[in-house]
Amino acid sequence: MFLVKFFKNNSTAFIIFLLVVLFMLFLNLVLDIYPVLALLKFLEGKRFYWTVPMAGLILFGFWLFDRNMKKKIINERVEIFNATIRTLQDILQNSSSSMQLLILDMKDEKVNDELVKRAESSIEELRTVIKALASVDPKNIKLKELNENLSIIKFHD
């Protein structure tokens, strides 16, 4: 099971493994040579007790490698997520500032009060979105809770 996951993520290792298996099948079926069986009989006859611990260490090494790679991938995704959230916050903050300037211009030009109130409510929604994005923890994100905090953006599970 572990090797299947390892080989799924590493196409080069999978191709090498596939070539070894095909070569063994060629030796077994065409040339009637059984190198794996011969190796096992040789190891059994010589009483190489170190082979089982060595195989265990190799498998343990593969497991550690897989675990470390998963941690690296998760950390990189968290960094990308944080950068994306910061970028979104900056964009929304710039939009909020532009809308505040627009409201000031609208008040100077004595535009209809209802339009000014709508613009102010939009700014308040932007502020709640910025606050909700600031409180997002990328490791414990739950889309339903985030969706409840945001009135503009609608996420789907």
User: What pTM was computed for the model?
Assistant: 0.49
Same domain, 98 and 49: no
Same domain, 111 and 49: no
User: How many structural domains compose the chain?
Assistant: 2
Give the helix, strand, coil percentages of the chain, each rounded to 5: 80, 0, 20
Q: What is the pLDDT of residues 40-52, one digit of tens each?
A: 777 777 666 777 7
User: Which residues constitute the domain of residue 52?
Assistant: 2-71
Q: How far apart are CA 104 and CA 101, in angstroms?
A: 5
| Residue 118 Cα distances to 94, 114, 123, 132, 141, angstroms | 18, 6, 9, 21, 31
Which tokens belong to 21? Answer: 């298996």
Q: What is the pLDDT of residues 62-107, one digit of tens each?
A: 889 988 888 888 888 878 878 887 888 888 888 888 888 887 887 7
Same domain, 82 and 49: no
- Whether 88 is in a domain gets the answer yes
Fill in the amino acid letter for 11.
Answer: S
- Whether 155 is in a domain gets the answer no
